Structure 1
Amino acid sequence: MKPKLIQFILVIMAAAGMASCTKTMDLPSLPQNKITSYKVVNLPDTVIYGAIDNIEKTITVYVPFYYNMVVIDPEITLSEGAKLSERALPVSINATNVKYTVTGADGNINIYSLKIVNQSISSLTVDWLTTEEQVANPVGVLPSIKGNFQSRNAQAVGIELAKRGSGQKVNLAMAAAGMQTEGNDYTLFNVPIPATIDTGYYDVTLAFAGHTAKLAKPVHITFQQPDLLIPSREVKQGGEISFDAFNTVFVGLKAASVTVNDQIYPLTILSYDRLKMTLKTPDDLPVGVYNYTATYNFEFEGWPIVSKVGALTVLPK
């Protein structure tokens, strides 16, 4: 080949190469049908962010158990111009089939599946806070319990007492219970004992965050000396008068009386239960106003006589 021809061909190839370098190509457009943010916003002062996977089309929300959530309330952000086919309603933390359909401004559709992962403790470990014998009384409170609750919500704990011998079971109401923390230690306290519970030894089982644990030692439920308050009372001769138990329960009520003007008058027991007694005054109870000079005596089987002084006004029949 002649040198001039070769030179001409090289010039043509160089020009073509330069032309190819200056050619521009359009980049593929960004998807317009994406969920760009998923936030759980129904916790005070706390936001939980969902992990969005745009390849698998999933949203994963990790819910720590100590928040004791029943539902999650999502706030969803989309690509500009996109729309969500479903309303972003609150979702049960146990839901398994929630999907979100996103339609982009260009008409393309994405469907995301929601995955809610409830994070929990691996096991429940509990023990009595103190090592002495555990004793409680009707209308009192259960001795304090320590455990790895990792939560301040005492109402999320379930407690069942099972009486040794009979197997009788009592579930304790937790509305008044409390949880206190010190470092990583959690203590459950102020769990009320019902007035109707029988005495005896009870095994104690706790349920929390999907786990159950039984305390190694039982609690001994015992009665205390019955007691009551004597507020001011007004009653007609032969009328009814009632009193409520105070920090204890009434058991084995045998007799009651009131002393005025140095004279003892029996009070007839009409009825009583563990929390209240109703008595009848005698027809000959002297009419008068006894400002904290009326002395009441109550006899309970197995206990010393309970003596109280109160204000009493007696009206004629």
Structure 2
Amino acid sequence: MKKFYYTLLALFFMLPACTKTDIVPFTPETDNQLLEYKIVNVQGSPIYGAINQQDSSITVYLPFYLQLITLEPEMKVSDGATVTPVSGTMIEDLLDLFHKGREIKYNVKGKDGKVKTYTLHVQVQQPDLILQEVSTDADNPNTYSLNMNLDFDSFSFGLDGAGFAADLDMIRVMLVDEQNKEYGPLNISTFNTTDLTRLDFTVIRYKEQSDPILAMLPAEGLYRIRVYSYAKVATTKNPIRINLLNKK
């Protein structure tokens, strides 16, 4: 009897030592997720985007040497879900996307009708764009003049730097006034396309075939030079002065 009593007592003290197991209900994955995003209009393997489900973002890293101006994405979404724009919809005019920063979004609609919106970010693995000053003295800017009364007149200048795209179609150069208003683009000389450290410009007045920028510019002004080179942009700190003599 005493042995039975001690056995019951031992079992009583062992009960608090038992661990309680909580059953946590399984939370299924939402059915409105973007599962895969890849760029397929490239040679070789596609470029996969990094999808962040927490902040609903897609980040695509583009090698600079590709210099793509359009993207063709293919996407996979949750079973039964739909995505808008649909997979395969081309992203046009990447230069405009880089320069103006327009947003590209994808809406994934699940079977239950709930929508999750993803934002695309395109990052180009491109070297920095570096510009040397045309005017070395900000208080004494280089001056370029053109007589609008003459049938023919012109002025020229060059811009040295680094990080220019090899394809001149990927470069746009603007004059920027003191109010940050842009004029242009300037015509880039094509006489020397092998020197990737210099851009040359010539503005010409020749009767009806004058450079279009002459109609845009006021008679005189101070302008910094802004260069858009594929996904990069840089602006000189010091201005140049342009005088359009006898402009009405």
Structure with greater contact order relative to length (CA < 8 Å, sep ≥ 6): 2
Q: Which structure shows the higher strand fraction?
A: 1
* TM-score, normalised with respect to structure 1: 0.40
Taking structure 2 as the reference length, the TM-score comes to: 0.48
Determine which structure has more spread, i.e. the larger CA radius of gyration: 1
